[in-house]
């Protein structure tokens, strides 16, 4: 049966009982900070949790590492086919335009901003980026996977944010629904799957039907590990695109939080590529309509001189990537920057593992 936008809307007030139960116990027992230290010791899916791991956390990691029932070994070949040809461009899109796509949801941006401002936003972004680069690894969906435990940790991070908002007494549940609901997490997976494929097309990257299927399948598996119920995870490419196109105009809108988070994202990657490239890339990937909602700068607005501004504009302007070696090079450099962000301790030695928080903004 086809998954519809209404199926997602019906999950707007649903949390994640499995992860929520774990986080409630950790918060009540004051164990969040100690658990974050344990996260560093859980690196691969076939690794047992440390001996001093709280029983509730040990049970969680063991019970949630099974592949989804819809998984078939043949899917690995289709996934590998996509990443064999498009690993760097996909990582570049996911870590920039993909993240901005989640910021275009005002409710999502409001929730994320409450935790981003507690520490350096670049730290949070580096943690997200690990997921995007990890899904292209050869062992991403094998027993040696580093991606699966990353997803398990992110699922707990979402649950911590959810529980803290509920405990704050300041979250308007009637207005916004459940914080980091199944509706939001499932929707984010659609943004990163169909949204990325759509952006690659806009950038002129040729993706075959088999590669599209492989990439959507990878995100279906990741959605499962993030706690999205299997029954609302679309597994056919046309369903994924259908959800993307039917929901985007309903969900995306300007917000102050979305604008701030977008600015931080662009600043992060501008550390690694010439100023103007990231913004031009995001604007081309999203289209002017959506880029304007979160005030992605236009090339001409950068104080780097007209010559460079026009160059940045032409890189991601009207020339398809497949016909322009300069564009290919620029996108490759941005993809390499994404990998650097995920693997280097660039934030003055700060943690790059997914980390739960035990507090949120007072606002």
Q: What is the pLDDT of residues 105-156, one digit of tens each?
A: 999 888 887 765 544 556 667 667 778 888 989 999 999 999 999 999 999 9
How much is the average pLDDT of 173-202? Answer: 93
Kindly indicate the confidence band of residue 97, based on its pLDDT and cuts at 50, 70 and 90. very high
Q: Is 287 left (phi over 0), alpha (psi -120 to 50) or beta?
A: left
How many percent of the chain have pLDDT more than 90?
A: 53
39-43, 210-214, 283-287: range with lowest mean pLDDT: 39-43
The pLDDT score that the predictor gives to residue 195 is 95
Kindly indicate the confidence band of residue 304, based on its pLDDT and cuts at 50, 70 and 90. very low
The pLDDT score that the predictor gives to residue 301 is 34
The pLDDT score that the predictor gives to residue 272 is 83
Closest CA to 316 of 58, 88, 93, 129: 93
How many percent of the chain have pLDDT more than 70?
A: 82
Kindly indicate the confidence band of residue 306, based on its pLDDT and cuts at 50, 70 and 90. very low
Contact 25, 37 (CB under 8 A): no
Check whether 27 has a pLDDT greater than 70.
yes
Q: Name the maximum alpha-carbon separation found in the chain.
A: 60
The pLDDT score that the predictor gives to residue 198 is 95
Kindly indicate the confidence band of residue 327, based on its pLDDT and cuts at 50, 70 and 90. low
The pLDDT score that the predictor gives to residue 321 is 46
Q: How far is CA 308 from CA 267, 305, 325, in A?
A: 18, 6, 17
- Spatial distance between the Cα atoms of 114 and 97, rounded to a whole number of angstroms: 21
36-45, 82-91, 234-243, 326-335: range with lowest mean pLDDT: 326-335
The pLDDT score that the predictor gives to residue 310 is 42
Kindly indicate the confidence band of residue 362, based on its pLDDT and cuts at 50, 70 and 90. low
Of residues 141 and 35, the one with the higher pLDDT is 141
The pLDDT score that the predictor gives to residue 82 is 97
Check whether 3 has a pLDDT greater than 80.
yes
- Spatial distance between the Cα atoms of 240 and 237, rounded to a whole number of angstroms: 5
Check whether 315 has a pLDDT greater than 90.
no
User: In which residue are the tokens 């076939």 written?
Assistant: 46
User: In which residue are the tokens 């680069």 written?
Assistant: 133
Kindly indicate the confidence band of residue 263, based on its pLDDT and cuts at 50, 70 and 90. very high
The pLDDT score that the predictor gives to residue 324 is 55
The pLDDT score that the predictor gives to residue 295 is 96
Which of 238-242, 271-275, 280-284, 347-351 is predicted most confidently? 238-242
Average pLDDT of the chain is 84
Of residues 340 and 345, the one with the higher pLDDT is 340
Check whether 314 has a pLDDT greater than 90.
no
The pLDDT score that the predictor gives to residue 320 is 46
User: Tens digit of pLDDT for each residue in 163-172?
Assistant: 989 998 888 9
φ and ψ at residue 90, rounded to 5 degrees: -65, -40
Global pTM value? 0.88
How much is the average pLDDT of 172-196? Answer: 93
Of residues 289 and 122, the one with the higher pLDDT is 289
DSSP state of 322: G
157-166, 198-207, 299-308, 350-359: range with lowest mean pLDDT: 299-308
- Spatial distance between the Cα atoms of 63 and 107, rounded to a whole number of angstroms: 30
Of residues 207 and 273, the one with the higher pLDDT is 207
Tokens of 2: 């086809």
């Amino acid at each position: 049966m086809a998954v519809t936008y209404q199926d997602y809307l019906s999950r707007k007030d649903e949390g994640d009982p499995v992860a929520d139960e774990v986080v409630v116990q950790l918060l009540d027992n004051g164990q969040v900070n100690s658990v974050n230290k344990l996260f560093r010791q859980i690196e691969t899916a076939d690794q047992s949790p440390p001996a001093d791991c709280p029983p509730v956390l040990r049970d969680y990691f063991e019970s949630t590492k099974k592949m989804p029932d819809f998984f078939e070994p043949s899917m690995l070949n289709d996934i590998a086919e996509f990443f064999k040809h498009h690993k760097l461009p996909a990582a570049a899109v996911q870590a920039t335009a993909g993240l901005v796509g989640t910021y275009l949801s005002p409710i999502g941006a409001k929730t994320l901003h409450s935790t981003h401002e507690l520490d350096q936003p670049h730290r949070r972004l580096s943690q997200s980026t690990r997921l995007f680069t990890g899904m292209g690894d050869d062992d991403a969906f094998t027993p040696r996977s580093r991606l699966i435990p990353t997803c398990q940790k992110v699922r707990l991070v979402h649950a911590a944010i959810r529980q803290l908002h509920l405990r704050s007494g300041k979250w308007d549940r009637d207005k916004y629904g459940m914080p980091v609901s199944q509706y939001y997490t499932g929707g984010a997976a659609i943004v990163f799957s169909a949204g990325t494929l759509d952006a690659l097309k806009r950038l002129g990257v040729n993706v075959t039907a088999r590669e599209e299927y492989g990439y959507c399948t990878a995100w279906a598996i990741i959605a499962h590990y993030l706690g999205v119920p299997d029954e609302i995870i679309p597994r056919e490419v046309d369903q994924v695109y259908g959800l993307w196109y039917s929901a985007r105009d309903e969900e995306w809108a300007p917000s102050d939080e979305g604008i701030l988070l977008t600015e931080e994202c662009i600043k992060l990657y501008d550390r690694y590529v010439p100023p103007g490239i990231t913004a031009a890339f995001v604007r081309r990937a999203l289209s002017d309509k959506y880029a304007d909602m979160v005030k992605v700068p236009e090339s001409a607005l950068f104080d780097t001189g007209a010559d460079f501004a026009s160059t940045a504009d032409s890189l991601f302007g009207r020339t398809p990537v497949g016909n322009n070696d300069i564009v290919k090079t620029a996108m490759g450099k941005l993809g390499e920057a994404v990998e650097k962000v995920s693997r280097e301790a660039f934030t003055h030695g700060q943690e790059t593992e997914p980390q739960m928080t035990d507090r949120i903004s007072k606002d």
